[in-house]
Amino acid sequence: MYETIQILHSYLAYIALAVLLFAVANAITGLVGKRIFNMNKDLRLSLFALILCHIQLLIGLILYIISPNGFSAIQEFGMGGLTSAARLLAVEHPTVNILAIVAITIGWSRHKKFVEGDKKFKSIAIFYGIGLLLILSRIPWNQWF
């Protein structure tokens, strides 16, 4: 079961990152190009990125609970006994990614309060962009390639 959830978490990460990157790029081009916020294309792309990121977070939290490298490693060795790679997986990766999902959620919530398209694009570009940067900063790159 652990291996299946880990594979799902790994492959969904590629999809979630691609959609999130596309949503950020779409918001930036919409803001710079002074486009009207399209309820079909722009709204759905941003919502799809939000949903995928939340699903990825839920799968990651399940993986964290059942993983031998996650919570159980902290309980067994303590924070001082973890290597930098183990600390990345046990502490930094989940904490920073939760903060990234919070930023993305704030961006989604803020964009709904605005009527003007430029403010909607700006909210999505800033907060989704912050979330994307946070996620990219804590990916265990040595395991991805």
**pLDDT tens-place string over residues 105-136:** 999 999 889 888 788 999 999 999 999 999 99
DSSP letter for 81, please. Answer: G
Euclidean distance between CA atoms 44 and 136, whole angstroms: 23
Name the least confident of 72-81, 122-131, 132-141.
72-81
Euclidean distance between CA atoms 65 and 94, whole angstroms: 11
pTM of the full structure: 0.88
Total domains, the chain:
1
Residue 138 near residue 91, CB atoms below 8 Å:
no
> Which domain does 97 fall in, by range?
2-144
